[in-house]
Amino acid sequence: MPIATIDGLKVNYVVKGSGPPLLMLAPGGFDASMDKWETTGAWKIARPLESLVNDYTVIAYDRRESGLSQGRVERLSWALFAEQGKALLDHLGIPKAVVFGGCMGCSVALAFAATFPKATKALILHWPVGGYRWKINGGDRFRRHAAFAREHGLAGVVERSRTGAGSFWGDPEAGPWASVLATDPEFAAGFIRQQLDTYLGWAAASGRALFDRDTPPGAEPEEIMGMKCPALVMSGDDPNHAASAAYYLREMLPQPEFWPVMPPDQTPELVLSRLIEFGRAHG
């Protein structure tokens, strides 16, 4: 697969299909690699990287700190993640796209639309994250990681990333840079050389920036109300994808198309059909 260098970081991506550009912001929490479009939930059957190529030019990538893409220790934020997606479009010479987020990718999509409205043709938001349990769960992950790092040091964090699940979502103690630590020896060597207190400051600031509200993060309410692009909202219904998150977006977005079908009635076939219908109407 091709590799682009964006903001000094290598990004693993793929482009295929024909039709309007569709920027796909992966589900999977902090494990936002493009293979999650084929290995999680309904996507195991729907396989959108294959099934949407006749209706869209599909652009998918491993978000920074995920999969085969690189990362960097700094204050993580939704805007930072969105800037990476926009830079990939710029790298490909694509000025405007339908922006499709799944799970935590919905918050990246909201940040994208807020920051780059002229580059956002439409939004597709499948199972947006949000709700009180989502907020508490995310904050707890960062607290668990900080406690582990204080006890075992940064060398212990590197070892945990290599012997545990290799991801922050699968193993909170390993931290948000676990994927890169597990796959990039040079990054791991630099990681250990940091001052522990400085690192813990970056991690704490990242946690507060990402998990700062009960409603779907990514954009402020006023920014969401100002989004003029059409938006398809498809609700989840579990502790990380609270139905209240989708209803909030239906209330706030100026041009929402709220899909009334709720899990578990959202079969892969119905989801794909709705995505294609929306793309034909707005792509």
What 3 state SS string does 90-159 have? Answer: HHHCCCCEEEEEECCHHHHHHHHHHHCHHHEEEEEEECCCECHHHHHHHHHHHHHHHHHHHHHHHHHHHH
CATH number, position 225: 3.40.50.1820
Alpha-carbon distance of 37 to 124, in angstroms, equals 14
16-31: pLDDT as tens digits: 998 999 999 999 999 9
Question: Same domain, yes or no, for 188 and 229?
Answer: no
pLDDT score at 238: 95
pLDDT score at 165: 79
23-79: pLDDT as tens digits: 999 999 999 999 999 998 889 999 999 999 999 999 999 999 999 999 999 999 999
Give the residue-averaged pLDDT of 153-159: 97
Question: Same domain, yes or no, for 234 and 125?
Answer: yes
Alpha-carbon distance of 253 to 22, in angstroms, equals 20
Which of 191, 210, 229 lies at the terminal end of a domain, its last residue? 210
Question: Same domain, yes or no, for 196 and 256?
Answer: no
pLDDT score at 8: 96
Question: Same domain, yes or no, for 248 and 120?
Answer: yes
233-269: pLDDT as tens digits: 999 999 999 999 999 999 999 999 999 999 999 999 9
pLDDT mean across residues, the chain = 95
pLDDT score at 270: 95
104-119: pLDDT as tens digits: 999 999 999 999 999 9
Confidence of residue 1 (pLDDT cuts 50, 70, 90): confident
Which of 158, 181, 210 lies at the terminal end of a domain, its last residue? 210
Give the residue-averaged pLDDT of 191-195: 97
pLDDT score at 164: 79
Alpha-carbon distance of 217 to 83, in angstroms, equals 16
Which of 165, 190, 210 lies at the terminal end of a domain, its last residue? 210
> For the chain, how many structural domains are there in total?
2
Residue among 32, 34, 41, 29 nearest 16 (CA) = 34
Question: Same domain, yes or no, for 125 and 140?
Answer: no
Question: Same domain, yes or no, for 56 and 70?
Answer: yes
164-183: pLDDT as tens digits: 777 898 899 999 999 999 99
CB 175 within 8 A of CB 145: yes
pLDDT score at 167: 86
Give the residue-averaged pLDDT of 191-217: 97
Give the residue-averaged pLDDT of 140-144: 97
The residue type found at 212 is D
Question: Same domain, yes or no, for 141 and 107?
Answer: no
Question: Same domain, yes or no, for 224 and 191?
Answer: no
Question: Same domain, yes or no, for 58 and 178?
Answer: no
Question: Same domain, yes or no, for 188 and 251?
Answer: no
Question: Same domain, yes or no, for 119 and 253?
Answer: yes
Domain that holds residue 195: 136-210
Residue among 1, 8, 76 nearest 33 (CA) = 1
pLDDT over 80 (residue 283): no
pLDDT score at 40: 86
Residue bearing tokens 């550009």: 21
Question: Same domain, yes or no, for 140 and 237?
Answer: no
Torsion, Cα 190 74 218 4, to 10 degrees, reads: -50
pLDDT score at 41: 82
pLDDT score at 272: 94
